[in-house]
Amino acid sequence: MPILEIFSQGEEIVTGQTVDTNSAWLSEQSVALGFTVSRHTAVGDKLGDLIALLKEIAQRADGCLCTGGLGPTSDDLTAEAVAAAFNLPLEFDETAYRQIERYFNNRKRPMPATNRKQALLPQGSIRLDNDWGTAPGFAVRAGRCWFAFMPGVPSEMRGMFIERVKPLLTERFVLNPSRLVTIKTLGIGESDIQQRLDGVSMPDSVQLGFRAGVDEVQTKLLFPANYPETDRTTLTEQIAARLGDFVFGIDGLSENTGNLAAVVDKLMRVAGKTLAVVETASQGLLAAKCPGATWLKSALFEQSLSALGQRLAVAVDANDLAATGVRLAKALQAQNPTDFVLIQLYEGSPAQFQDKDRTIILYNTLLTQGSLQQNRHNLGGPLGRKQNQAALLGLDLLRRHLQNRKI
Amino acid sequence: MPILEIFSQGEEIVTGQTVDTNSAWLSEQSVALGFTVSRHTAVGDKLGDLIALLKEIAQRADGCLCTGGLGPTSDDLTAEAVAAAFNLPLEFDETAYRQIERYFNNRKRPMPATNRKQALLPQGSIRLDNDWGTAPGFAVRAGRCWFAFMPGVPSEMRGMFIERVKPLLTERFVLNPSRLVTIKTLGIGESDIQQRLDGVSMPDSVQLGFRAGVDEVQTKLLFPANYPETDRTTLTEQIAARLGDFVFGIDGLSENTGNLAAVVDKLMRVAGKTLAVVETASQGLLAAKCPGATWLKSALFEQSLSALGQRLAVAVDANDLAATGVRLAKALQAQNPTDFVLIQLYEGSPAQFQDKDRTIILYNTLLTQGSLQQNRHNLGGPLGRKQNQAALLGLDLLRRHLQNRKI
């Protein structure tokens, strides 16, 4: 397998002000493509360090993915370092310049003179158009190694990698990619998942792994290149079945499902339904997770339960949030002509909410045409985690309803 | 300043399954102590790669902080690599062995035979006792460089660094910590900032840098240890004055201000005012950025302008959002007894909103007791960026109002 290295440039990385997430993301992508990733390196903005490192890598690796240092300012030195390391003088790229100009024109802002520098590319390099920001990237061969240079801003880097770099890599290298399947769940922890998987017979060639993130827990299956497709599907389905309704999406089998909000977005579009939401614990975050969702007609946050009751002209009872949720849902549906109504309430003082060592109790009520569903969850951890879990669990109730309807 | 490198060992890091947060944490600690951190490197569990890297670092750096590879399994090769790289045969450390044994005894678990390996340390090294897990660390000088090897588990690593490694570093190195001041702005780009700073005379000893994030643009000033405090304050204030009202916070002078939402939160608490918000473009995100803010009484998102008008019983005009904003603000303030009302509207179709190459026009209206402020912004970029900028610019209007009131 060809050997690839990842290289990040940025003073903010070596000084620890930024955690370098680009390297992990690029490594995952590269391993999935069939590369062996042997090394990550990060250096700051000292030209000498950059040149030395580029020369080392050119002798050591078959490919190198580089991020950062393409900005307009004086501490963005990547192109200059490449020019010096490999004796490839910088040349003005007319097309790159016009793209940078267009970026500013589209935003109706004048283009600062310093941005001209971003159109200087090392001789003989391939320009990588940046549709996601101002700095074009570039790719160039030096020594044994094929280098691709991308911006350090994660969203720009990801767009450029997928659209520009990946096709060039698959063109230039003979790759036998392994296949990664990711089963995504919400509301069940890593150790519970492991217990549920007890007794599933895993072939030696398949690597099983877990990753717990803030928005989901992932169960990962890495299949070798020659693993039969039907066996891959069978094993994945067997494991997903063990995890049941906790599974909201599977990536890597057919199309990728995206995160929970994307799954709900798709289900709502297909169902052709509309939704109105009342958020309390998540304080706007549930709605905020669905940008561009035209099915979301309104979202209301109220700090106090009594103000919420007044607004919807409903009697509220802090000691019976289940019944209060139903009354609020009916009142909101009467007021707002939407197909679904979701009411999120919680039991707990502001002090409880803010204390990472105390829990609150979340009450979700989903009123649809002809059905009413409610659930309760204990939410713990820091304020931000409680807020995020509340938003996700509301979306997940909607997801479960929409998925079960289809059966 | 002594030069330090950070080195992480682990197949899970180079394959991207784990984001390496240890390096950023150790870098921040080291910079604060007065080291120059020149490089981060991560390699997997190939013995040859490890040996080569250790030899390189021993020639290049004065110090190196290493994490990972101290576990009991066959892919934990750090001690073996150190022994081979520097010709320091592994020796059995009786004390280390007894500590590992005690760790298992305390947990009433039998000690697996494989853990004996963790008591083998390179000849001449200092043992670093691990009070947080099983694997002892060790420190050893090789070539120019003083190496400290710590476990990869973040909690164990942090404990060992603070209690064991830091005292050894300050004993062994003459350190003069530099001071970082960060000026944080919203609504002005990196290149515009640079233009505004033209002609400010920067002492050679002060390093100027910039970082553009999704939530703020940072202008960074790194002062050497011996820089007089009053001069540091003067230069910071001079630069902040050039950036004017765009500055929402300064970190590193006295207390740190946190992000924009934290700044607004503090200002609102001090002012003792309450707020009601209508969000359209940011779709809940403005409210979501203020968890735990009891001054935020309500937040409403409506997908359609006419539905919003109906809800507040106000005539709306999509062709005159400035006047519509004022009418909505007055109606909301009449309905909700809050001190401030913020209305966020935007001009643009859903297609424009979702197209990263097209802009929308944001209209913010802030009605306070006795004053009315409005502003407009062109928002470009992907959907998520428009949404986030809309949330931030609403908070920023509030911040500007609250800060100017004080003058």
- pLDDT per residue over B209-225, tens digit each? 888 888 999 998 989 88
pLDDT score of A192 more than 90: no
Domain stops at, among A172, A189, A217: A172
Residue contact B189–A44, C-beta within 8 A: no
pLDDT band for position B405 (50/70/90)? low
**Average pLDDT, integer, range B330-359:** 93
Residues of B in contact with A296 (CB under 8 A): 283, 301, 303
Give the range among A114-118, B193-197, B198-202, B288-292 with minimum mean pLDDT: A114-118
Proportion of chain A above pLDDT 90, given as a percent: 72
Give the mean pLDDT of chain B: 92
* ipTM computed for the complex: 0.77
More confident residue, A211 or B161: B161
Q: Where are the beta strands (DSSP E) in B19-159?
A: 36-43, 63-67, 90-92, 120-122, 126-128, 137-142, 145-150
* Ramachandran class of A231: left when φ > 0, alpha when ψ lies in -120 to 50, beta otherwise: alpha
Cα(A228)–Cα(A231) distance, integer angstroms = 5
Q: Report the Cα–Cα distance between both ends of chain B, in Å, rounded.
A: 43
Q: Is the domain of B276 the same as that of B202?
A: no
SS3 content of chain B, % helix, strand, coil (to 5): 40, 25, 30
With tokens 């309390």, the residue in question is A280
- Best interface-test mutation with A: which of B11, B19, B207 has the largest number of A CBs within 10 A? B19
- pLDDT per residue over A17-50, tens digit each? 888 999 999 999 999 899 999 999 999 989 999 9
- The range of the structural domain enclosing residue A283 comes to 261-406
Instruction: Assign residue A194 the CATH number of its domain.
Output: 3.30.70.2860
pLDDT score of A407 more than 50: no
Instruction: Give the total number of structural domains in chain A.
Output: 3
Nearest chain A Cα to B36, which residue? A15
Nearest chain A Cα to B275, which residue? A303
Q: Are strands B63-67 and B3-9 parallel, antiparallel or unpaired?
A: parallel
Residue contact B383–A19, C-beta within 8 A: no
Residues of A in contact with B53 (CB under 8 A): 39
Q: Is the domain of B151 the same as that of B81?
A: yes
**Average pLDDT, integer, range B186-196:** 91
Q: Please report, for residues A188, A228, A367, A397, the alpha-carbon distance to residue A375 in angstroms, rounded to integers and kept in the order given.
A: 15, 41, 12, 8
pLDDT band for position B228 (50/70/90)? very high
Q: What is the pLDDT of residue A405?
A: 66
Cα(A201)–Cα(A194) distance, integer angstroms = 13
Q: Is the domain of A228 the same as that of A213?
A: yes
Q: Is the domain of B115 the same as that of B161?
A: yes
With tokens 């599907």, the residue in question is A233
**Helices and strands, counts by H and E, chain A:** 15, 17
Q: What is the pLDDT of residue B328?
A: 97
Give the mean pLDDT of chain A: 92
Q: Is the domain of B238 the same as that of B311?
A: no
Q: Where are the alpha helices (DSSP H) in B228-368?
A: 229-243, 260-271, 285-288, 305-312, 321-335, 350-354
Q: Which of B20, B192, B294 sits opposite A303 (nearest CB)?
A: B294
- Tell me the longest C-alpha to C-alpha distance in chain B: 84
Residues of A in contact with B387 (CB under 8 A): 288, 291
Residues of B in contact with A16 (CB under 8 A): 23-31, 37
Q: Is the domain of A212 the same as that of A119?
A: no
With tokens 């996601």, the residue in question is A132
Q: What is the pLDDT of residue A381?
A: 85
Which residue(s) pair with B342 in the sheet? B277, B366
Residues of B in contact with A302 (CB under 8 A): 297-298
pLDDT score of B1 more than 90: no
Domain stops at, among A203, A222, A256: A256
**CA-only gyration radius of chain B, Å:** 28
Q: What is the pLDDT of residue B407?
A: 39
Query: How far B13 CA sits from the closest chain A CA (Å)?
Result: 7
More confident residue, A189 or B65: B65
Q: Is the domain of A24 the same as that of A140?
A: yes
Cα(B186)–Cα(A265) distance, integer angstroms = 31
Query: How far B92 CA sits from the closest chain A CA (Å)?
Result: 31
pLDDT band for position A275 (50/70/90)? very high
Q: Is the domain of B280 the same as that of B253?
A: no
**Average pLDDT, integer, range B59-64:** 96
Query: How far B194 CA sits from the closest chain A CA (Å)?
Result: 8
Q: Which of A40, A75, A112 sits opposite B13 (nearest CB)?
A: A40
Taken as a whole, chain A contains a residue count of: 407
Q: Which of A115, A288, A391 sits opposite B283 (nearest CB)?
A: A288
Q: Is the domain of B380 the same as that of B329?
A: yes
Cα torsion angle, B29, B32, B36, B39, sign: positive
More confident residue, A104 or A365: A365
Proportion of chain B above pLDDT 90, given as a percent: 74
With tokens 């938003």, the residue in question is A391
Q: Are strands B207-212 and B217-223 parallel, antiparallel or unpaired?
A: antiparallel
Residue contact A302–B303, C-beta within 8 A: no
- pLDDT per residue over B370-393, tens digit each? 899 999 999 998 999 999 999 999
- pTM (two decimals): 0.78
Cα(A214)–Cα(A73) distance, integer angstroms = 34
Say how many CB pairs under 8 Å bridge A and B.
232
**Average pLDDT, integer, range A187-213:** 85
Q: Is the domain of A227 the same as that of A302?
A: no
Give the range among A63-72, A237-246, A280-289, B174-183 with minimum mean pLDDT: B174-183
Burial B182-198 (b: 16+ CB within 10 A, else e): bbbbbbbbbbbbbebbe
Q: Is the domain of A324 the same as that of A270?
A: yes
- The three-class DSSP label of residue B282 is coil
Q: Is the domain of B244 the same as that of B356?
A: no
Please classify residue B171 by burial: count the beta carbons closer than 10 Å to its beta carbon, then call 0-12 exposed, 13-18 middle and 19+ buried. exposed
Q: Which of B41, B359, B387 sits opposite A108 (nearest CB)?
A: B359
pLDDT score of A199 more than 80: yes
Instruction: Assign residue B52 the CATH number of its domain.
Output: 3.40.980.10
Domain stops at, among B208, B225, B257: B257
